[in-house]
Amino acid sequence: MANDIGWLGLAASLVLVAVAVALSFWQRLSLERSIVWATARALVQLLLVGVALEFVLDEPLAWSWAWVLAMVLFAADTVRRRAPEVPGVFQLSLMAFAAAGVTTLLVLFGLQIFPLEPKTLIPLAGMTVGNSMTATVVVARRVLDELRDKRDEVEARLALGIAAPVAAKPYVRAALRTALVPQIETTKAVGLVFLPGAITGLILAGTPPLAAVKVQAAVMYLVLGAAATTTAVIALGVQRRLFSADHRLTVPPRVSA
């Protein structure tokens, strides 16, 4: 079974990092320090996570829920750092990930697709949140950019006596499409272009491939549903914050360089 490579195996895989360092040196990319630092950081982070998971997976479910909450907080903070101009994005992200989490976990555990236990809750919640983060950042920025760049058009709609949510609709729709299309494309390409992490891990651990692909398919659908939920919550939330209660567009114009 290939599910424990041992410390020697891990050390041996550092040869591949040495290849990256050597290539950087040869091509004078000056990235050797970054590569070594990233490798060391990844190892330390993963070891810490591994130790923590060893503990949490053996403890009552409450610890796993705490882990999930920490993940959601960290993810919302990551979205805030990647989309700092969007007003209220931290609170909106929290709501969005919470909404997606509740929906997807209700389906996965409520419909008994997976048994509810630490070793299913943490990875599945992690995949829900982690894979919808990119779409969340994209939609938050796109709604802001659309309403800012098409300000004249938006105000022309408002000036016709159209209420703000209706005036914003075409632009919010465009932002949602921009955020969701990549996720849909990824779902279409799975299996053809790449074998995602879940299926790889399961096969390495000895799970029969057909069983592994069923899990992977369920995970892909979970991620798609989660991305759709988070982007919808974020898009509607951001749009509401960019208009005043009396139907004025309050997003400041882009500051020109």
Partner 1 sequence: MRGVTGAVPALFEFVHLGVRGVGDRWRLRDVNGSIAPSGVTALVGLSGSGKSTLLRCCNRLEVPAEGAVHYRGVDIATLDVLQLRRRVAMVFQRPTPFPGTGRENLQTADPELEDEWARELLARVSLGPDFLDREATELSGGEAQRLCLARSLAVDPEVVLMDEVTSSVDPAARRSLERLARSLADGGTTIVWVTHDLAQARRLADEVLLVADGRIAGVDETNAFIEEDANGE
* Chain residues that interact with partner 1, rule: CB under 8 A: 152-153, 155-163, 170, 246-248
Residue 3's φ and ψ, nearest 5 degrees, are -95, 5
Q: How far is the CB of 248 from partner 1 (least distance, A)?
A: 6
Compute and round to an integer the Cα radius of gyration of the chain: 22
Residue 128's CB is within 10 A of a number of other CB atoms, namely: 28
Residue closer to partner 1, measured from CB, 15 or 255: 255
CB of 143 to partner 1, least distance (A): 18
CB proximity list for 80: less than 8 A, separation 6 or greater: 89, 90, 93
Closer to partner 1 by Cβ: residue 32 or 153: 153
Contact between 245 and 111 (Cβ < 8 Å):
no
The nearest distance, CB 201 to partner 1, in angstroms, is 46
Instruction: Tell me the backbone φ, ψ of residue 184, rounded to 5 degrees.
Output: -65, -40
What three-state secondary structure class fits 190? Answer: strand
Please give the full DSSP string across 33-81, using - where no structure is assigned: HHHHHHHHHHHHHHHHHHHHHHHHTTS-HHHHHHHHHHHHHHHHHHHHH
Least Cβ distance, residue 169 to partner 1 (angstroms) = 11
Under 8 Å between Cβ of 135 and 182: yes
Q: What's the rounded Cα separation, in Å, for the pair 78 and 90? A: 9
Q: Min. distance of Cβ 156 from partner 1 in angstroms? A: 4
Q: Which is nearer to partner 1, 94 or 164 (CB)?
A: 164
Q: Which is nearer to partner 1, 4 or 246 (CB)?
A: 246
Nearer CB in complex with partner 1: 170/196? 170
* Length, in residues, of the chain: 257
Nearer to partner 1, 77 or 155 (CB): 155
- Output the smallest distance, CB 155 to partner 1, in A: 6
State how far the Cα of 214 lies from the Cα of 255, in Å rounded to an integer. 49
- Between 80 and 142, name the residue whose CB sits nearer to partner 1: 142
CA 233 to each of CA 20, 98, 141, 225: distance values in angstroms, whole numbers, following the listed order: 41, 10, 14, 12
Q: How far is the CB of 131 from partner 1 (least distance, A)?
A: 32
8-state DSSP, 179? H
Separation between Cα atoms, residue 227 and residue 96, nearest integer Å: 9
